[in-house]
């Protein structure tokens, strides 16, 4: 992979720029805690109930929809996300702003996240990422999520992208595979899977390694 052949980078947010600890704790602990209190059931029972409800919508547009879960759980999800116990957990990976600053000077950068706009806005209140990106896209506002190949076709058309000169940076291997199927030529994977079975995918531990890992 050669960086000089890249014109645009499509960059994921959670797990790439922001630590996943915030989201994982929110859905795995904070919301079950609220359910436990509201329904007067044990935390363990609330957690099992939450898992059952969440799994039903996994990999769908509703999975990321703050308003959907507010209605489904009768919980103000946005308010819970803004609470200090949650908000304080939003953290940038170390060194990532320096990397983004260098990348934006050399490439078109577009943030593409499955996160709901309300979730994105909360995170941007903690860390303003706008200066680094040409556009910041919440996938569900295009009526698809990254797991659906149609999203990648829509992005290509909307932003007039040449996918032969586009690099996708993601922490979810399935999303990368869908993007590659839509024609994206190269991807960087920042997830935990040890085996990556494609020459088009470069596995890195951090976005900060991108310049040292690629041929200039």
Q: ∠ CA 56-61-65 to the nearest 5 degrees? A: 90
Q: What is the mean pLDDT of residues 74-95?
A: 94
pLDDT of residue 215: 61
| Count of domains observed in the chain | 2
Domain match, 79 and 109 both = no
Whether pLDDT at 151 is above 90:
yes
- Res 109: pLDDT: 97
State residue 210 phi and psi, 5-degree precision: -65, -40
**pLDDT over 90, % of the chain:** 79
Nearest to 59 by CA among 148, 128, 124: 148
216 pLDDT more than 60: no
Query: Are 82 and 7 in a shared domain?
Result: no
Is residue 114 a contact partner of residue 142, using CB atoms and an 8 Å limit? no
Do residues 76 and 100 share a domain? no
Report the CATH number that the domain containing residue 116 is assigned in CATH.
3.40.50.1000
Answer yes or no: do 11 and 59 share one domain.
no
Q: Do 209 and 127 share a structural domain?
A: yes
Average pLDDT, the chain: 92
Select from 38, 64, 87 the last residue of a domain.
87
Beta-carbon neighbour count of residue 210 at 10 Å? 20
Residues 25 and 12 both lie in one domain: no
Work out the pLDDT band at 115, boundaries 50, 70, 90: very high
User: What are the pLDDT digits (tens) for 5-24?
Assistant: 899 999 999 999 999 989 99
Range of the domain at 180: 3-19+92-213
Which string of DSSP letters, residue by residue, matches the chain? -BGGG--EEEE-SBTTTB-THHHHHIIIIIHHHHHHHHHT--HHHHHHHHHHHHHHTTTSGGGG-HHHHHHHHTS-HHHHHHSHHHHTT--BPTTHHHHHHHHHTTSEEEEEE-S-HHHHHHHHHHS--GGG-SEEEEGGGGT--TTSHHHHHHHHHHTT--GGGEEEEES-HHHHHHHHHTT--EEEE-SS-S----TTEEE-S-GGGHHHHSB-
Same domain flag for 46 and 152: no
Domain endpoint, select from 64, 87, 110: 87
Do 35 and 103 fall within a single domain?
Answer: no
- Do 83 and 132 belong to one domain? no
| Predicted pLDDT at 198 | 79
Tell me: the pLDDT tens digits for 38-83? 999 999 999 999 988 888 887 788 888 999 999 999 999 999 999 9
Residue 123 contacts residue 152 (beta carbons within 8 Å): no
pTM (predicted TM-score) = 0.92
């Amino acid at each position: 992979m050669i960086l000089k052949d890249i014109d645009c980078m499509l960059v994921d947010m959670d797990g790439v720029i922001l630590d996943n600890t915030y989201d994982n704790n929110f859905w795995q602990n904070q919301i079950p805690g609220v359910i436990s209190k509201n329904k007067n059931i044990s935390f363990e029972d609330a957690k099992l109930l939450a898992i059952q409800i969440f799994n039903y919508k996994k990999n769908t547009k509703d999975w990321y929809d703050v308003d959907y879960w507010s209605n489904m759980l009768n919980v103000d999800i946005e308010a819970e996300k803004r609470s200090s116990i949650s908000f304080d957990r939003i953290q940038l990976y170390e060194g990532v702003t320096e990397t983004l600053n260098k990348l934006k000077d050399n490439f078109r950068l577009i943030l593409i996240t499955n996160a709901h706009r309300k979730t994105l806005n909360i995170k941007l209140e903690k860390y303003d990422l706008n200066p680094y990106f040409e556009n910041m896209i919440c996938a569900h506002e295009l009526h698809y999520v990254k797991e659906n190949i149609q999203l990648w076709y829509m992005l290509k058309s909307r932003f007039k992208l040449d996918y032969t000169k586009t690099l996708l940076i993601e922490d979810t291997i399935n999303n990368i595979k869908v993007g590659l199927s839509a024609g994206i030529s190269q991807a960087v994977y920042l997830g935990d899977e040890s085996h990556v079975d494609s020459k088009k995918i470069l596995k890195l531990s951090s976005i900060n390694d991108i310049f040292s890992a690629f041929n200039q």
